[in-house]
C-alpha cells in the first residue's frame, strides 16, 4: 500500500504515537494524510473505533474520501469534515440537553445571517460598516474581541441569537468546549470511540479548537492518537484567531504527551520557476526543490497592474478560454480573490461570459451558505442526479442525513434494512413540475415527509430548520447584486458542477493545487485587510499561499479603479509591488 510514497512520507504514515508533521507546499501532505488514515483504518477493521480527519474545508474532506476510494478503502469508519461539523455531530447534537441555550433546539446562523445581524447592530451603535468585530469566545466565555467598546454590541448580538434559537460558528466551538469542560466523562467517551484524530492545516487552529481537542486527548488512560499536519508559512488565519503552536506548547496543553516532529520537504506540485517565485514571500527561508515531472518547464508567470476593474472579468475569461483551448481541464483552473465579496460577482460575470463552461464557485447558488442545515442536506440529494459518478457521494450524504434525523429523535424507515439505499430510492422517485427552484424543493420536501410519515409539527427543531432554510434562501435570491438564477434547472446545474473552474477565496482553496491560478484583488486593504494587526506577515503569507497553489501557470492581477469609501484609490499590496521579477 505504501509503495507510492517516498521515504519521508512513508515514515510519517508508519510513525507510532502522536505526530506533528511540517509539510511545505506540494510535498504530498494530503496524500500522506489519506495514506495515514488508510493505514490506521486497516488496524481497526474488527473494532468499533472511528478515525476522525479534521480538515479546514469541506472540499478537503471530500478529497480525502475520494483518495481512500481510489485505494479501495470504503471509509465507513472514517469521519471527515471541519471542526465545526465535528463539534455539531459528535458533541452538540448528542449532548444539547446539557446546554441551557440550545436544549430546546437550535439552527445554525450561517455567515450571511451573522454578517446581516452584525451590520444592522453596527448601524444602531454608530460604528462604521468596515469595522471588524470578532464574535469569537475565550474558553471562559468572555469575548475574544480586545476592544471593549464593541462588547455591548456583542452582548446584544448574542441575545438576539438566543431569542431566535440560533448559534453562529463561534458559539458552536464555545458550547462544544463548555460541554467537554463541565462534563469530562463526555471527553472520555469520545476518547474511547476515536482511534486517531488527524488535524489538517494545524497552523490555523484557533485556541478554542486546541482546547476542544485537548479535552478529548488529555483523559485518563488515553487511547486516541493525534496526527497534526501543517506549515507555519501558510498560517493565514491569524486575524481570525489561528495559532501555529510549537510542539512544546501542544504537548503541554494536551497533558504532556510525547509528540514526534517529522517533516516533508520535496515539492511534487509546482515547477521550479513557480517555487522560486513564491519563495519571495517565504518567512522560514527553507530551500524547496521541485520533484515534479515538469520541474524544468517555464510556464507562465504574469502580473497585470494596468487593468481597469471594469475589464477584469473579460480579461480573466480570456485566460480561462486560452487554457481550455490548450487542453487544460476545467477543474485544473482556479480564479481566486482575497475576500468573498469580490468572488461572488466575479463568478456570476464569468458564468455569463462563458456559458458553456462549468464553474465550481462559491456564491453561485443561494443554498450553499446553508450547509449545516438539515434541509440543505435533503436538497443536495434532490439536486444531484443519481449516476455511477455520484453513487458513493450520494450514499454518504444519505447516511449523514439519516444520522442527523436520528439525532433529532426522528426514526425513518425503521423496519427496513439498508436504510441508506431505501432512502435514496424514495428520493429518486420524487419530482415536481414547479419551475421555481425553491418551490420545486418545497414540494419535493413535502412529498418526502409524506412518504416517510414524518410530521414536521412534532419536531420543533426540524420545523425551525425548514423555516430558516427557506427564509434565508429567499433573502439571498432577492439581493439584486447577486443576481441569482431562480429556476430549478439552474439550481441543479450549479449544484452539480463540482468539477468546473474553481472560483473561491484564498482561504477557501487552502491545501489544493491547480495547473493555472488566476488571482485578482491583490491590493493593500484587501491583502492585507485594513484591520490586520500584523499586516507585513499577513500579506506575505497570503501571497505565499496564493502562489503556491499553482503547478505551472500563475496570473497575478492588481486591478485599477477600486476606491475606498473616502474615494482614495487602492494601491498594489506592498510585497507584490516590491518584488523585482521578470514577468511574462
Is the pLDDT higher at 491 or at 179? Answer: 179
In SS3 terms, 192-246 reads as HHEEEEEECCHHHCEHHHHHHHHHHHCCCCCCCEEEEEECHHHCCCHHHCECCCC
The DSSP-derived string for 330-352 is GGGEEEEESSHHHHHHHHHHHHH
Cβ neighbours around 219 below 10 Å, total:
20
Per-residue model confidence (pLDDT) at position 105: 87
Per-residue model confidence (pLDDT) at position 481: 64
Classify 429 as helix, strand or coil: coil
pLDDT grade for 416, boundaries at 50, 70 and 90: low
Per-residue model confidence (pLDDT) at position 240: 67
Could you tell me if residue 434 is inside a domain? yes
Per-residue model confidence (pLDDT) at position 343: 87
User: Residues 208-212: contacts with CB within 8 Å, 24+ apart?
Assistant: 208/136, 208/137, 208/138, 208/139, 208/173, 208/174, 208/177, 208/241, 209/83, 209/173, 210/243, 210/245, 210/250, 210/253, 211/139, 211/177, 211/253, 212/83, 212/87, 212/91, 212/173, 212/176, 212/177, 212/180
Answer whether the bond into residue 335 is a cis peptide, omega within 30°: no
Same domain as 74, residue 196: yes
Could you tell me if residue 65 is inside a domain? yes
Could you tell me if residue 330 is inside a domain? yes
Q: Find how far residue 442's CA is from the centre of its chain.
A: 27
- Cα–Cα distances in angstroms (integers) from residue 530 to residues 148, 526, 535, in the given order: 19, 7, 8
Same domain as 58, residue 199: yes
Could you tell me if residue 2 is inside a domain? no
Q: From CA 474, how far away is CA 573, in angstroms rounded?
A: 37
Q: From CA 380, how far away is CA 378, in angstroms rounded?
A: 6
Same domain as 200, residue 83: yes
Interior CA angle at 435 toward 431 and 437, to 5°?
80
Q: From CA 114, how far away is CA 116, in angstroms rounded?
A: 5
Same domain as 473, residue 388: yes
**What stretches of 408-472 adopt beta strand conformation (E)?**
none
CATH of the domain at 283: 3.40.50.300
Q: What is the mean pLDDT of residues 89-95?
A: 94
Residue 179 exposed, middle or buried by CB count within 10 Å (0-12, 13-18, 19+): buried
pLDDT grade for 536, boundaries at 50, 70 and 90: low
Per-residue model confidence (pLDDT) at position 270: 97
pLDDT grade for 84, boundaries at 50, 70 and 90: very high
Q: Are 552 and 275 in contact (CB under 8 A)?
A: no
Spatial neighbors of 552 by CB under 8 A, at least 6 apart, are 270, 271, 274, 294, 297, 299, 300, 515, 516
Could you tell me if residue 380 is inside a domain? yes
Out of 232, 247, 264, a domain closes at 264
State the pTM of this model.
0.84
Same domain as 152, residue 84: no
Per-residue model confidence (pLDDT) at position 517: 98
Same domain as 482, residue 391: yes
Q: From CA 268, how far away is CA 289, in angstroms rounded?
A: 9
Out of 264, 283, 311, a domain closes at 264
Same domain as 322, residue 206: no
Same domain as 191, residue 83: yes
Q: Which of 55, 33, 108 is nearest to 509 (CA)?
A: 55
- Identify the top-confidence range among 185-189, 500-504, 522-526: 185-189
Query: Could you read off the pLDDT of 471-511 as tens digits, one per residue?
Result: 888 888 887 766 677 889 878 876 765 678 999 888 888 77
What does pLDDT average to over the chain?
90
- Domain extent at residue 170: 96-174
Q: Which of 288, 506, 466, 487 is nearest to 370 (CA)?
A: 466
pLDDT grade for 531, boundaries at 50, 70 and 90: low
Same domain as 216, residue 81: yes
pLDDT grade for 297, boundaries at 50, 70 and 90: very high
pLDDT grade for 35, boundaries at 50, 70 and 90: very high
Half-sphere exposure of 89 (CA within 13 A, CB side): 19
Q: What is the mean pLDDT of residues 96-101?
A: 93
Q: From CA 527, how far away is CA 549, in angstroms rounded?
A: 17
Could you tell me if residue 429 is inside a domain? yes
Q: From CA 79, how far away is CA 53, in angstroms rounded?
A: 6
Of the chain, the percentage scoring pLDDT greater than 70 comes to: 94
Residue 337 predicted with pLDDT over 70: yes
Per-residue model confidence (pLDDT) at position 417: 65
Q: What is the mean pLDDT of residues 274-303?
A: 91
Q: What is the mean pLDDT of residues 151-167?
A: 95
Which of 47-56, 294-303, 444-453, 525-534 bottoms out in mean pLDDT, i.e. has the lowest? 525-534
Same domain as 74, residue 193: yes
Q: Which of 74, 33, 27 is nearest to 56 (CA)?
A: 33
pLDDT grade for 364, boundaries at 50, 70 and 90: low
Q: Which of 93, 190, 50 is nearest to 404 (CA)?
A: 93
Bridge partner residues of 333 (DSSP)? 516
| Helix or strand holding residue 251 (H, E) | helix 247-253
Give the cell for residue 160. 438576539
| Backbone torsion region of residue 132, taken as left when φ is above 0, otherwise alpha when ψ lies between -120 and 50, otherwise beta | beta
Could you tell me if residue 285 is inside a domain? yes
Radius of gyration of the chain measured on its C-alpha atoms: 24
pLDDT grade for 328, boundaries at 50, 70 and 90: very high
Q: From CA 447, how far away is CA 435, in angstroms rounded?
A: 17
- Cα–Cα distances in angstroms (integers) from residue 295 to residues 268, 271, 282, 552, in the given order: 9, 4, 19, 9
Per-residue model confidence (pLDDT) at position 437: 93
Q: From CA 567, how far away is CA 563, in angstroms rounded?
A: 5
Could you tell me if residue 552 is inside a domain? yes
Q: What is the mean pLDDT of residues 334-355?
A: 89
Residue 362 exposed, middle or buried by CB count within 10 Å (0-12, 13-18, 19+): middle
Per-residue model confidence (pLDDT) at position 415: 67
Per-residue model confidence (pLDDT) at position 409: 86
What phi and psi values does residue 261 have, to the nearest 5 degrees?
-100, 120
Which of 170-179, 430-439, 497-506, 509-518 bottoms out in mean pLDDT, i.e. has the lowest? 497-506
Same domain as 338, residue 230: no
Per-residue model confidence (pLDDT) at position 21: 96
Same domain as 488, residue 437: yes
Specify the DSSP class assigned to residue 167: E
Out of 174, 202, 229, a domain closes at 174
Q: How many domains does the chain have?
A: 4
| Helix or strand holding residue 518 (H, E) | strand 514-519
Amino acid at each position: 500500500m505504501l509503495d507510492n510514497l517516498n521515504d519521508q512520507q512513508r515514515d510519517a504514515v508508519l510513525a507510532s504515537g502522536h505526530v506533528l508533521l511540517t509539510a511545505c507546499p506540494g510535498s504530498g501532505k494530503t496524500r500522506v494524510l489519506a495514506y495515514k488514515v488508510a493505514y490506521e483504518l486497516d488496524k481497526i477493521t474488527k473494532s468499533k473505533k472511528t478515525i476522525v480527519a479534521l480538515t479546514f474545508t469541506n472540499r478537503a474532506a471530500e478529497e480525502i474520501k475520494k483518495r481512500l476510494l481510489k485505494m479501495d478503502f470504503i471509509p465507513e469508519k472514517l469521519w471527515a469534515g471541519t471542526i465545526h461539523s465535528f463539534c455539531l455531530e459528535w458533541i452538540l447534537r448528542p449532548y444539547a440537553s446539557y446546554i441551557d441555550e440550545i436544549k430546546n433546539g437550535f439552527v445554525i446562523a450561517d455567515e450571511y445571517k451573522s454578517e446581516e445581524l452584525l451590520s444592522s447592530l453596527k448601524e444602531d451603535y454608530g460604528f462604521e460598516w468596515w469595522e471588524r468585530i470578532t464574535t469569537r469566545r475565550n474558553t471562559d466565555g468572555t469575548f475574544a474581541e480586545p476592544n471593549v467598546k464593541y462588547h455591548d454590541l456583542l452582548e446584544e448580538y448574542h441575545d438576539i441569537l438566543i431569542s431566535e434559537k440560533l448559534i453562529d460558528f463561534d458559539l458552536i466551538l464555545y458550547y462544544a468546549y463548555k460541554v467537554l469542560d463541565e462534563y469530562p466523562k463526555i471527553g472520555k467517551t469520545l476518547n474511547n470511540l476515536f482511534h486517531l484524530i488527524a488535524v489538517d492545516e494545524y497552523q490555523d487552529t484557533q485556541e478554542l479548537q486546541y482546547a476542544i481537542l485537548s479535552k478529548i486527548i488529555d483523559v485518563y488512560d488515553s487511547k486516541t492518537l493525534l496526527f497534526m499536519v501543517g506549515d507555519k508559512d501558510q498560517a493565514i488565519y491569524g486575524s481570525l484567531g489561528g495559532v501555529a503552536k510549537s510542539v512544546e506548547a501542544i504537548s503541554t496543553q494536551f497533558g504532556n504527551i510525547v509528540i514526534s516532529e517529522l517533516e516533508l520537504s520535496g515539492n511534487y506540485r509546482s515547477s521550479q520557476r513557480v517555487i522560486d517565485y513564491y519563495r519571495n514571500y517565504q518567512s522560514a527561508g527553507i530551500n524547496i526543490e521541485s520533484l515534479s515531472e515538469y520541474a524544468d518547464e517555464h510556464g507562465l508567470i504574469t502580473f497585470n497592474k494596468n487593468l481597469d476593474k471594469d475589464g477584469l472579468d473579460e480579461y480573466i475569461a480570456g485566460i480561462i478560454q486560452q487554457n481550455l483551448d490548450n487542453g487544460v481541464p476545467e477543474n485544473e483552473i482556479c480564479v481566486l480573490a482575497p475576500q468573498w465579496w469580490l468572488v461572488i460577482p466575479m463568478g456570476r460575470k464569468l458564468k455569463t461570459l462563458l456559458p458553456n463552461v462549468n464553474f465550481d464557485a462559491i456564491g453561485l447558488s443561494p443554498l450553499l451558505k446553508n450547509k449545516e442545515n438539515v434541509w440543505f442536506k435533503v436538497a443536495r440529494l434532490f439536486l444531484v442526479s443519481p449516476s455511477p459518478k455520484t453513487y458513493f457521494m450520494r450514499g454518504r450524504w444519505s447516511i449523514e442525513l439519516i444520522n442527523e434525523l436520528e439525532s433529532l429523535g426522528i426514526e425513518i424507515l425503521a423496519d427496513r434494512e439498508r436504510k441508506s439505499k431505501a432512502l435514496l430510492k424514495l428520493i429518486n422517485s420524487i419530482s415536481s413540475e414547479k419551475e421555481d427552484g425553491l418551490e420545486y424543493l418545497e414540494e419535493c420536501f413535502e412529498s418526502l415527509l409524506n412518504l416517510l410519515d414524518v410530521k414536521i409539527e412534532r419536531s420543533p427543531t426540524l420545523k425551525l430548520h425548514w423555516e430558516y432554510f427557506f427564509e434565508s434562501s429567499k433573502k439571498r435570491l432577492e439581493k439584486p447584486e447577486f443576481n441569482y438564477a431562480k429556476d430549478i434547472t439552474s439550481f441543479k446545474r450549479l449544484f452539480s458542477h463540482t468539477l468546473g473552474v474553481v472560483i473561491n477565496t484564498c482561504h477557501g482553496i487552502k491545501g489544493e493545487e491547480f495547473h493555472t491560478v488566476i488571482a485578482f484583488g491583490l491590493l493593500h486593504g484587501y491583502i492585507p485587510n485594513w484591520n490586520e494587526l500584523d499586516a507585513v506577515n499577513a500579506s506575505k503569507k497570503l501571497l505565499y499561499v496564493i502562489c503556491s497553489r499553482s503547478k505551472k501557470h500563475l496570473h497575478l492581477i492588481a486591478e485599477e479603479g477600486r476606491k475606498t469609501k473616502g474615494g482614495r484609490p487602492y494601491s498594489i499590496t506592498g510585497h507584490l509591488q516590491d518584488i523585482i521579477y521578470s514577468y511574462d
